[in-house]
Amino acid sequence: MSDATTGSKDHVEVYSGTARSFHWLMAVLVLLQLPLGLYMAYRGGDLGIFDRFTNNMYTTHKMLGVILLVLILLRFLYRLVNGAPEELATLEPWQKTVSMLNHWGIYALLIGTPILGYLGASYYGALNIWGFFNLPALVGVDKKVAEVVLAYHGWAATVLLALIVLHIAAAIYHHTVRKDLVLARMMPGLLKKRDKA
């Protein structure tokens, strides 16, 4: 999963183009999906406003969630087959452990969260997409079970959000405080700027 060299004066292995495309595409989509889920559940659930706007948000969330599930399965397979670049030698041992736990935790939740959402929506019998078609049902309708499964979906999404906040904070810390090459592994354009400096 790595491009072995970058032409930089600091030798560093960066993530491959495919790995970077998966990463940034999914980062954008997940950072839209999380607030969308939180806001729609607040508006539909807490405020009890279930108008066309709320309904469209739910439909968009489900459709985007299923697209994300397909993307993450492809990405995970790619990761298992191709691996990742060697860890940077400048990282402390505890940082290697924490980042490994963070990355695998994010992968696990990126797979588990949409599966729980899809299962919950199936149990709820709410699989219609903008009145055009129905997503295939995974199970028969049972609204009581749906509530439990969707609560698990919400918790899984909350833990995912916490891991992502930690992940982004770590990337900013490495780039601005430690000034190492962690961010450049996922954004090799930064290496060119460094070389010019």
Minimum CB–partner distance for residue 2 and ligand HEM (Å): 10
Mark the segment that binds ligand HEM (CB under 6 A) among 47-55, 57-65, 136-144, 189-197.
57-65
Which of 26, 32, 57, 139 forms a contact with ligand HEM (CB under 6 A)?
26
Instruction: Establish if 154 lies at the interface with ligand HEM (CB under 6 A).
Output: yes
In angstroms, what is the minimal distance from the CB of 9 to ligand HEM? 19
What gap in Å lies between CA 123 and CA 160, rounded to an integer?
A: 23
3-state secondary structure the chain: CEECCCCCCCCCCEECHHHHHHHHHHHHHHHHHHHHHHHHHHHHHHCCCCCHHHHHHHHHHHHHHHHHHHHHHHHHHHHHHHCCCCCCCCCCHHHHHHHHHHHHHHHHHHHHHHHHHHHHHHHHCCCEECCCEECCCCCCCCHHHHHHHHHHHHHHHHHHHHHHHHHHHHHHHHHHHHCCCHHHHHCCHHHHHHHHC
Q: Does 125 bind ligand HEM (CB under 6 A)?
A: no
Please report, as residue ranges, which positions from 75 to 114 form the binding site for ligand HEM (by CB under 6 A).
79, 84, 99, 103, 106-107, 110, 113-114
Residue 188 touching ligand HEM (CB under 6 A): no
CB of 193 to ligand HEM, least distance (A): 15
Residue numbers at the binding site for ligand HEM (CB under 6 A): 23, 26-27, 30-31, 33-34, 37-38, 41, 44-45, 61-62, 65-66, 68-69, 79, 84, 99, 103, 106-107, 110, 113-114, 117-118, 120-121, 150, 153-154, 157, 160, 164, 167-168, 171, 182-183, 185-186
